[in-house]
Structure 1
Amino acid sequence: MAVLLLLVAVVVALPILAIVAAVLQWDALSTQLLREMAETVLPQYAGTTVVLCLAVAVGTGALGAATACAVALFDFKGRRTFEWALLLPLAMPAYVVAYAYTDFLQYSGPAQTAIRAAFSIEGRVFPEVRSVGGAAVVFIFTLYPYVYLLARAALTQRAAHLMEAARLMGAPLRRRILVIALPLARPAIAAGIALALMETLADYGVSSYFGIQTFTAGIYKAWLVLDSPIAAAQLATLLLVLVAGLLQMERHARRKLRFASSRGARANSAEAKPIVLRCHQAWTAQALCVLPVLLGFVLPVLCMLRPLLLAWGQADTPLPWSGFVGWSLNSLKLAAITAALTTALALALAFTVRRRPTRLTRGVVQMTSMGYAVPGAVIVVGLLIPVGWLQAAQPGWGVGNWISTTVLGITWAYMVRFSAVALQSVQSGYSQVPISMDDTARTLGVGGWGLWWRIHRPLLQRSTVVAALLVFVDVMKELPATLVLRPFDHDTLAVVAYQLARDERLGEAALPALALVLVGLIPVVLLSRALNKKA
């Protein structure tokens, strides 16, 4: 078992280790290329990435915290609906939102055309959508639920009770929110912002479609356009440093969340009811909650339906129904294979840690969980670099034929990327199975893997299904690694939606894009049901 765990750790850590090793292998070509990039495009990569991250951090933090305070601390008409509706933008891949708003708000789009015709205006009405500002808006309205979820959980547990105590002491509402509620939720807000920033750094679809120069786009250009894996690895190392900092920030914030989990506080908070809002205060809270749902989910769906319906009614632009079936089958096959393998790996690792919680087993689990924070572009570079080394050392082995553009290679990349998702769900299920059940089973002669099969497996059925579904949905929406590693003639819904949108064929891209949105609703429904049960 120790040998197996070490092998798993090596496989999962291989992309990171390969990138670190590639940085040490300087050659004349990569040195010259990096020098030229540092003099030309590298400052732009850094500046664009920093500006984008700052805008996303401020936007998601403000919007997520405001909506969390509204539904956790106040009572108004529609509050119960907004509790789950605010999660709907999680179902929208950011690149799908980018396609929708570009088609609707660009110069020749229906919005500007209608305004120019109605008011006799010439020229551009709205700013250019394909810009850093447009990308920031897309990320803010698709990623704020990370902050909303964590902040809402922190505020629900203790804020209502403490705010009630402050009210009895004469503190006005503004002071109660600024001095009590927001400081209580500060660690949760910081953790949510860190998660949103990691998603922003990992994005390729939005930055590529909008034509903005971020680090992720630079990694792909260094690898695919400039044909320099060493330069791509060095750029990926800089991105890894940023991700490592965000991971440390998120873990530090989560450690501080412990102060909000007191049982007594939860019991007392049940006695403190949310503040009832009326008239203009209730309207303000409703508008605050409607805005992100409208801009992050409803309008993008309607914007994608418009070109789909237009293409449906035009004989010269038929919808690709035959191709859609093939793309869907490819996506379903890759997602099902990855979900099965990743969930099995998560069950084995979680069971091993439960039986032998040593430093080795915990380290392997932590290393396996690290892949989710690594951008897909970095994973691709980390997988293909050692393949190139082995191919150069042993040309007769044909290693590249086994990994590059094969189902094996892309499944490996998916497992590195999404093993943490399955592990989190399985470990959450194990936290509800008391250790005393294991001791009782051993007393009755049930041990080893028989303990898992006869005792743990029935109790973990729900967690196992949730883990498989979450990985399944994530694989369906994954774009960067799929673009590079997919087999030939094996396009998926995400890849086809990106390629059609890049070619300005939004009517055809709408069909796979909306299919991805429907699949993305699965984890939103599961998450909403779980939150309602806890409430």
Structure 2
Amino acid sequence: MAAVGMLVLLPLASLIGIAAEGDAEIWPHLLANVLPSSIVDTLALLAGVAVVAGSMGITTAWLVTAHRFPGRGMLVWLLPLPLAVPTYITAYIYVEMFDSAGLVQMALREFMGWRSRADYWFPEIRSLPGCILVMSVVLYPYIYIAARAMFLTQSASMLEVARTLGASRIKLFRIIALPLARPALAVGVSLALLEALNDIGASEYLGVRTLTVSVYNTWLNRGSLAGAAQIACVMLAFVVGLILIERYGRRDRRYAPSPKRHRTVHPVPLVGGRAWLAAVLCAVPAVLGFILPTGFLLRETLRGSLFTQLDADFLAHFLTTIGLSLVATAATLVVAVMMVSAARLSKTPLTKGALFAAGLGYALPGTVLALGLMTPLVGFDNLIGMIWRTLTGERLGLLLMGAAGGIVIAYVIRFLSIATGSLSAGLDRVSPSLEDAARTLGASRREMVWTIQIPLMRPALASAALLIFVDCIKELPATLLLRPLNTETLSTLVYTYASRGRFEDGSLAALVIVLVGLIPVIQLVRSAEAHPKRAEAEASSGSSSP
């Protein structure tokens, strides 16, 4: 447990050490020329995503939960699907479609007879507002899923009482439903903002110089590792701020409905113009975030006959991606099972602290994590190389830094919190009496883990495995910075094509990423939609029993 906690905290300590050892002249230069614009752009981006994505997620979640309107059944499934599309892929697609040389403006010029951009005005997609829009239409499902889960579990009795007192639908939402959902909304918004802070592909391609982009440029393009580490330390302040905001949003807000005669919210039919307005409001985010990007990728793949790319090189990139993701997923689950089981069987400050430290990994942007891992990985490789040379007299190549091992470690640290959170939630539903009975029968801790905890955690293990696997496939910043030379994954392949101005040639790789990402999202929607049905069936059986 302590070793895992140290593994997560090690990149942070290394990052601070690199920043402190840097040339004293670097910091004044960064403070005068780099940080002001980067901080402003980052703050503006996070604020914009919070407002736009938050509005999309909350509005759509309330509409599909509390009302019936045309297309609602299909939209319930479509609205979470943008989670399968990485932000950088959406950014590349939107530039291809809405830039001055894109499909939309070319069609407008041809239809209207315009000759150049001087004849008309069109919103610039390569801008801060464009970046906010792109990230919002991809990240709003974090808020949507959290908000819908809370709206589904709210008691219908409170809403009915408010209706009898004359509350309108808008007032009902504003004074009852929204305040009760605030803890879940705080979690959803914070996750969306952490993903926005982690992004490098979309913000760089759209011309927004965030702190993440500055770290990347300072490290690789300007050759200043210490300067990049100092910017990364500033990013950590943003991460801490987001975590504090999330905890502030959840403070003293606990709501547990009575288990007796609890009825969930039943959708109220909308008619006329309101029904069609609700349908449009819910359809727009789904179209912008999933249907439009997926349709574009499919069109480019078919039009460019990109299936001919399915050669040995593409297969190698695909197998590299799958292999790294599978190994990282398996390692993450093994570590998570060990930590959660230890925390369950021995509730000491050490186990609680290690579990808390494991949860910090997801809050670390990929660029910060990669930068912090560099020194520990090089140090480990040098130590093993020295031992090997002493024993055999031969030189040993790199094992972790610049090799697959470094990427796997970064994945494990970054996504460990997904596994520990899912497994902890799964074990919390298990009655402690089962474990107490096993103890009285003389079962050892190992036997309890293998015979009781792991079998009961299988559903949570499956869900966590799907989410981690797809997150590993989509992860770009850490993969980009830690990958071995001449090694490509699907995400770095798409990034390479886009950097050369030929994103359409990477449509097949992008489409594969999206299709693989659909698997856990669909499973997540299926589980979420099954919950209210089970609750309604239990309520019906309870009310009909004598």
Task: Please classify the TM superposition score into its range, dividing by the shorter chain length.
Answer: over 0.9
Give matches, 1:405-484, under 5 Å: 405-484=402-481
Deviation at 1:225, TM superposition (A): 2.1
Which of 79, 82, 100 matches 1:86? Answer: 79
- Distance (whole Å) between structure 2 residues aligned to residue 53 and residue 399 of structure 1: 45
Give matches, 1:52-451, under 5 Å: 52-124=45-117, 126-158=122-154, 160-259=156-255, 261-264=256-259, 267-270=261-264, 273-312=266-305, 319=309, 321-387=311-377, 396=386, 401-451=398-448
The 8 Å contact of residues 327 and 492 in structure 1, kept in 2 or not, is answered as: yes
Partner residue, 2:535: none
Deviation at 1:159, TM superposition (A): 6.0
- Asked if 1:511 is matched to 2:505, the reply is no
Q: TM-score, normalised by structure 2?
A: 0.91
- AA matched with 1:109: G
- AA matched with 1:381: L
- AA matched with 1:213: R
The 8 Å contact of residues 9 and 364 in structure 1, kept in 2 or not, is answered as: yes
**Structure 1 unaligned residues grouped into runs of 5+:** none
Residues 103-147 of structure 1: CA distance to partner in whole angstroms, max 9, x if unpaired? Answer: 111222221111111110132353222221111101110111111
Give matches, 1:36-51, under 5 Å: 36-51=29-44
- Distance (whole Å) between structure 2 residues aligned to residue 452 and residue 37 of structure 1: 51
- AA matched with 2:113: S
Residues 292-340 of structure 1: CA distance to partner in whole angstroms, max 9, x if unpaired? Answer: 0000000011122232222118xxx963533221111000100111011
- AA matched with 2:40: G
CA 105–400 in structure 1, closer or farther in 2 if over 3 Å, else same:
farther
- Distance (whole Å) between structure 1 residues aligned to residue 200 and residue 137 of structure 2: 17
Secondary structure of 2:223 counterpart: coil
Deviation at 1:390, TM superposition (A): 7.2
- Distance (whole Å) between structure 1 residues aligned to residue 7 and residue 237 of structure 2: 21
The 8 Å contact of residues 150 and 188 in structure 1, kept in 2 or not, is answered as: yes
- AA matched with 2:315: V
CA 390–262 in structure 1, closer or farther in 2 if over 3 Å, else same:
same
- AA matched with 1:338: A
Deviation at 1:393, TM superposition (A): 9.9
- Distance (whole Å) between structure 2 residues aligned to residue 383 and residue 115 of structure 1: 49
- Distance (whole Å) between structure 2 residues aligned to residue 62 and residue 385 of structure 1: 42
Secondary structure of 1:40 counterpart: helix
Partner residue, 2:530: 533
How many residue pairs were aligned?
A: 522
The 8 Å contact of residues 57 and 144 in structure 2, kept in 1 or not, is answered as: yes
Q: Among the aligned pairs, what percent are the same residue? A: 36
- Distance (whole Å) between structure 1 residues aligned to residue 430 and residue 183 of structure 2: 28
Residues 458-506 of structure 1: CA distance to partner in whole angstroms, max 9, x if unpaired? Answer: 2222222222222111111110011111122321000001111221222
Secondary structure of 2:493 counterpart: helix
The 8 Å contact of residues 155 and 262 in structure 2, kept in 1 or not, is answered as: no
Bigger mean CA offset, 73-82 vs 496-505: 73-82
Residues 430-453 of structure 1: CA distance to partner in whole angstroms, max 9, x if unpaired? Answer: 112211101111222222101111
Partner residue, 2:8: 12
- Distance (whole Å) between structure 2 residues aligned to residue 34 and residue 393 of structure 1: 32
Bigger mean CA offset, 179-188 vs 225-234: 179-188
The 8 Å contact of residues 367 and 481 in structure 2, kept in 1 or not, is answered as: no
The 8 Å contact of residues 163 and 180 in structure 1, kept in 2 or not, is answered as: yes
- AA matched with 2:179: P
How big is the alpha-carbon RMSD for the aligned residues of Structure 1 and Structure 2? 2.2
- AA matched with 1:322: A
Deviation at 1:409, TM superposition (A): 1.1
**Structure 2 unaligned residues grouped into runs of 5+:** 388-394, 533-546
Secondary structure of 1:402 counterpart: coil
The 8 Å contact of residues 68 and 148 in structure 1, kept in 2 or not, is answered as: yes
- Distance (whole Å) between structure 2 residues aligned to residue 108 and residue 37 of structure 1: 35
- AA matched with 2:263: S
Deviation at 1:255, TM superposition (A): 4.7
- Distance (whole Å) between structure 2 residues aligned to residue 8 and residue 475 of structure 1: 19
Residues 189-244 of structure 1: CA distance to partner in whole angstroms, max 9, x if unpaired? Answer: 23222111111111111112223211001111221122222221111111111111
- Distance (whole Å) between structure 1 residues aligned to residue 238 and residue 411 of structure 2: 22
- Distance (whole Å) between structure 2 residues aligned to residue 328 and residue 420 of structure 1: 26
- Distance (whole Å) between structure 1 residues aligned to residue 455 and residue 262 of structure 2: 35
Residues 331-386 of structure 1: CA distance to partner in whole angstroms, max 9, x if unpaired? Answer: 01001110111101101111101110111101101101110111000001101134
CA 292–399 in structure 1, closer or farther in 2 if over 3 Å, else same:
farther
- Distance (whole Å) between structure 2 residues aligned to residue 392 and residue 38 of structure 1: 34
Secondary structure of 1:445 counterpart: coil
- Distance (whole Å) between structure 2 residues aligned to residue 126 and residue 302 of structure 1: 23
The 8 Å contact of residues 500 and 508 in structure 1, kept in 2 or not, is answered as: yes
- Distance (whole Å) between structure 1 residues aligned to residue 381 and residue 422 of structure 2: 38
- Distance (whole Å) between structure 2 residues aligned to residue 400 and residue 76 of structure 1: 62
Secondary structure of 1:212 counterpart: coil
Residues 147-195 of structure 1: CA distance to partner in whole angstroms, max 9, x if unpaired? Answer: 1111122222226432211111122333222222222223332322211
- Distance (whole Å) between structure 1 residues aligned to residue 494 and residue 379 of structure 2: 33
The 8 Å contact of residues 57 and 193 in structure 1, kept in 2 or not, is answered as: yes
Deviation at 1:392, TM superposition (A): 9.1
- Distance (whole Å) between structure 2 residues aligned to residue 392 and residue 440 of structure 1: 49
